[in-house]
């Protein structure tokens, strides 16, 4: 174990004694009402101290034997500030089990006395345990006895990071917490991963049997929020809901309220995602961060201790990146004579790249690639920093970016329709299968052009291709890329998967728009006649109406179909019914299906 200098321990002792800690609060929202249900309390050290970062603060406290003193001081600061700000709901305060055990031994009533002194009702205080903590050394029986001493006051209990430990479910059944927080790993990209959503369903079953409320933490995108809502989780927390701040709002942000109150629900992989491929988040590699005051020697030692590490990020004001330290440059500088002595003790800002390329986690791979191409060529070699709303989350490499771009191009060429560049049969099947596996409600529309073959024969395949492209454009304008999916089966057949609740109105808009656009694909004489005449193989003249668009649709309830194959059969029947109507038409199959049977 690294020996902490006496001066650092002395500094920490002063911080704890004087309670010079910054209280931050991250909102937890009740999805059912869109109201604030409470806040998780977090702390930082003084901004002008090397102990500002919470990880450094906690690790130093352990090494200096001040861990309980620090945690109790944090609880004191968080409770008093919470009351002072008059925040609504409950306050979730993090504790490690061994710290609670130590506190119970030296002063059994310390927490109850603190709550009374702060003037807050005990049932508004939630003790949050993180079993993933490496110092979770207390056996369950002993832990139950320790917690009883705290919970008798009326406080509640939550267990954090469900899924991070193999023994979590056993602990859950024995401790019976009021809340369980689902680990960020299971929430990140849950809108794209049916395995994760299936895991959440299994956890919900356990929660229902134990009267436990679930909190989805780490929600960072609108799509994740909508999926969590669809799955029936009650509480939600994460950067998309609100970042930790010293001045939290007592009400939920308008953006989140709007998202939760909208009739639309999320999908698993929308058109935009399919067209853009994966996002910048897929490129993230974890790299340590240091403050600008960190010496070059300290950064050099980090590189020496991690052979695979290529970069270290320099951050300030908590977690905002300001520079990038590169292994190649640091080692090259240190290879020169006397450089250890000349620059070793100086701040790392001397050797860092002060103008690194910074990209937001929300960007698509194509957008990141364009930024790299448009910027200095060194960024392709040096890599880039990934942030979330300005806060550092990881780094990406040019090599990984090029690999993903190449894979994306290969996949696009393989599965996209060459005429319209819309997703083809494989992406369509994958998308619908994901929706079925996740038991989500949606509408599927099978779109087909009427009298297209004779048009192609008379006007030529080039005009026919243009007519198909026009149809694709009309259908694209009738979908919401944030919720709906458009695919091109082939020829003149398209599939639209709607999760927008106004899907029928969108279909009618598409039909109206198609009717206006299609006229320009015929001669004036054919438009006046309402069609054209051709000869069939027998030499007989046949009249063909102007090309029209037929849409066969059905709403798919959860559990209604077992597979994409079953659903496609019903969609095909709906399309056939639509084509029986002359002109542009929409037919909605209103039969109720159960496991593929009408």
Give the CA distances from residue 39 to residues 23, 87, 138, 438, 449, in Å, rounded to whole numbers and listed in that order.
Answer: 11, 8, 27, 30, 55
Kindly report the length of the chain.
Answer: 598
Query: How many C-beta atoms surround the C-beta of residue 585 within 10 A?
Result: 17
The DSSP annotation for 333-395 comes to: HHTSTTHHHHHTTSBGGGTSBSS--EEETTSBHHHHHHHHHHS-THHHHH-EEEEETTEEEEE
H or E segment at 568?
A: helix 564-579
At 40, the pLDDT band (50, 70, 90 cuts) reads: very high
Q: Note the pLDDT of residue 594.
A: 67
Question: Which of 248-252's residues contact partners 24+ apart within 8 Å by CB, and which partners?
Answer: 248/25, 248/26, 248/27, 248/39, 248/85, 248/87, 249/27, 250/36, 250/86, 250/87, 250/88, 251/35, 251/36, 252/27, 252/29, 252/34, 252/35, 252/36
Asked if the model's pLDDT at residue 51 lies above 80, the reply is yes
Answer yes or no: same fold for 6-262 and 418-589.
no
**Cα radius of gyration rounded to whole Å, the chain:** 30
For residue 171, is pLDDT > 50? Answer: yes
Please provide residue 175's backbone torsions phi and psi, each rounded to the nearest 5 degrees: -85, -25
Least confident of 129-138, 270-279, 352-361, 419-428: 270-279
**107-139, pLDDT tens digit by residue?**
889 999 999 999 999 999 999 986 545 445 556
Q: Is the pLDDT confidence value at 186 over 80?
A: yes
> Which phi and psi angles does 143 have, rounded to 5°?
-65, -40
In the prediction, which pLDDT does 170 show?
A: 63
Average pLDDT for the chain: 87
Superfamily of structural domain 6-262: EAL domain (3.20.20.450)
Res. 172: pLDDT tops 80: no
Q: Give pLDDT, residue 198.
A: 73
Backbone phi, then psi, for 209, in 5-degree steps? -75, -20
> Which of 127-141, 155-169, 374-388, 562-576 shows the lowest per-residue confidence on average (mean pLDDT)?
127-141
Better pLDDT: 235 or 281? 235
Identify the weakest region by mean pLDDT among 380-389, 445-454, 514-523: 380-389
Q: What is the DSSP letter of 558?
A: T
Q: Is the pTM of this model over 0.85?
A: no
User: Quick one: pLDDT at residue 581?
Assistant: 94
Higher local confidence (pLDDT), 495 or 134: 495
Whether the CB-CB separation of 85 and 33 falls below 8 Å is answered with: no
- Which sequence spans correspond to the domains of the chain? 6-262, 280-404, 418-589
b/e sequence 123-160, b meaning 16+ C-beta within 10 Å: ebbbbbbbbebeebebeeeebeebbebbbeeebbbbbb
End-to-end CA distance of the chain: 68
Mean pLDDT is lowest, of 158-172, 233-247, 376-390, for: 158-172
CATH of domain 280-404: 3.10.580.10
Residue 163 banded pLDDT, cuts 50, 70, 90: low
In the chain, % of residues over pLDDT 70: 91
- Hey, CA dihedral for 531, 532, 533, 536, is it positive or negative? negative
Distance separating alpha carbons of residues 253 and 393, to the nearest angstrom: 23
**Structure confidence by residue, pLDDT tens digits, 268-322:** 444 343 344 466 767 888 888 899 999 999 999 999 888 888 999 999 987 899 9
Euclidean distance between CA atoms 193 and 189, whole angstroms: 6
With contact defined as beta carbons under 8 Å apart, do 47 and 64 qualify?
A: no
DSSP sequence for 78-141: HHHHHHHHT--SEEEEEE-HHHHHHHHHH-TTHHHHHHHHHT--GGGEEEEEETTSTT----HH
Determine the topology of domain 418-589 in CATH.
Alpha-Beta Plaits (3.30.70)
Q: 286 or 228: whose pLDDT is higher?
A: 228
Taking residues 155-183, report their average pLDDT: 76
Say if residue 364's pLDDT is above 90.
Answer: no
* Cα separation, 10 vs 121, whole angstroms: 35
Given a cut of 50, whether residue 166 has pLDDT beyond it is no
CA distances from 58 to 9, 14, 130, 269 (A): 12, 15, 14, 40
Confidence of residue 537 (pLDDT cuts 50, 70, 90): confident
Is the pLDDT confidence value at 266 over 50? no
Are 521 and 466 spatial neighbours (Cβ–Cβ below 8 Å)? yes
- CA 40/CA 160 separation, integer angstroms: 11
Identity of the highest mean pLDDT range in 49-53, 98-102, 196-200, 512-516: 512-516
Per the CB < 8 A criterion, the answer to whether 558 and 549 are in contact is no
What distance in Å separates the CA atoms of residue 480 and residue 497, rounded to the nearest whole number? 10
Alpha carbon distances (Å) from 555 to 25, 426, 440, 501: 42, 22, 11, 10
- The model's pLDDT over 62-106, given as tens digits with 9 standing for 90+, comes to 889 898 999 999 999 999 999 999 999 999 999 988 888 888 888
**SS3 (DSSP) at 437:** helix
């Amino acid at each position: 174990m690294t020996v902490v200098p006496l001066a650092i321990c002395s500094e920490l002792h002063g911080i704890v004694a004087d309670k010079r800690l910054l209280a931050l609060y991250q909102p937890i929202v009740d999805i059912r009402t869109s109201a604030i249900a409470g806040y998780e309390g977090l702390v930082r050290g003084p901004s002008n101290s090397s102990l500002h970062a919470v990880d450094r603060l906690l690790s130093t406290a352990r090494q200096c034997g001040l861990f309980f003193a620090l945690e109790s001081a944090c609880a004191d600061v968080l409770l008093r500030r919470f009351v002072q700000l008059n925040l609504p709901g409950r306050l979730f305060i993090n504790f490690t089990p061994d710290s609670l055990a130590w506190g119970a031994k030296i002063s059994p009533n310390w927490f109850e006395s603190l709550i009374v002194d702060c003037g807050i009702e005990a049932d508004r205080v939630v003790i949050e345990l993180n079993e993933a903590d490496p110092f979770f050394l207390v056996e369950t029986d002993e832990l139950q006895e320790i917690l009883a001493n705290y919970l008798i006051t009326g406080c509640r209990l939550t267990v954090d990071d469900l899924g991070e430990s193999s023994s979590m479910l056993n602990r859950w059944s024995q401790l019976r917490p009021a809340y369980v927080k689902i680990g960020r790993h299971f929430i990140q990209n849950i809108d794209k991963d049916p395995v994760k959503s299936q895991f959440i369903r299994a956890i919900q079953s356990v929660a229902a049997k134990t009267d436990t409320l679930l909190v989805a933490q780490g929600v960072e995108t609108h799509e994740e929020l909508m999926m969590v809502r669809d799955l029936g989780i009650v509480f939600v927390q994460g950067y998309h809901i609100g970042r930790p701040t010293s001045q939290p709002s007592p009400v939920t942000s308008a953006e989140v309220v709007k998202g939760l109150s909208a009739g639309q629900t999320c999908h698993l992989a929308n058109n935009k995602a399919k067209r853009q491929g994966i996002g910048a988040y897929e490129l993230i590699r974890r790299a340590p961060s240091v403050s600008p005051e960190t010496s070059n020697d300290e950064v050099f030692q980090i590189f020496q201790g991690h052979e695979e590490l290529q970069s270290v990020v320099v951050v300030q004001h908590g977690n905002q990146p300001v520079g990038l330290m590169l292994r190649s440059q640091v080692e090259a500088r240190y290879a020169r004579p006397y450089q250890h002595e000349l620059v070793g003790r100086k701040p790392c800002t001397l050797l860092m790249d002060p103008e690194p390329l910074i990209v937001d986690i929300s960007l698509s791979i194509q957008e990141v690639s364009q930024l790299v191409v448009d910027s200095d060529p060194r960024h392709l070699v040096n890599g880039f920093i990934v942030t979330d709303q300005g806060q550092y989350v990881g780094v990406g490499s040019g090599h990984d970016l090029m690999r993903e771009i190449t894979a994306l191009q290969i996949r696009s060429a393989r599965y996209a329709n060459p005429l319209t560049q819309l997703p083809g049969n494989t992406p369509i099947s994958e998308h619908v299968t994901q929706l079925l596996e996740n038991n989500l409600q949606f509408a599927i529309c099978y779109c087909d052009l009427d009298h297209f073959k004779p048009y192609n024969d008379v006007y030529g395949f080039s005009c026919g291709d243009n007519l198909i492209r026009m149809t694709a454009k009309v259908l694209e304008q009738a979908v919401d890329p944030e919720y709906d999916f458009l695919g091109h089966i082939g020829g003149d057949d398209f599939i639209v998967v709607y999760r927008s609740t106004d899907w029928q109105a969108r279909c009618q808009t598409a039909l109206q728009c198609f009717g206006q656009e299609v006229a320009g694909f015929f001669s004036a004489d054919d438009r006046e006649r309402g069609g054209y005449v051709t000869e069939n193989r027998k030499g007989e003249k046949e009249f063909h109406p102007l090309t029209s668009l037929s849409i066969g649709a059905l709403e798919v309830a959860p559990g209604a179909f077992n597979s994409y194959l079953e659903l496609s059969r019903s969609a095909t029947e709906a399309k056939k019914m639509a084509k029986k109507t002359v002109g542009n038409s929409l037919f909605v199959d209103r039969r109720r299906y159960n496991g593929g049977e009408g």
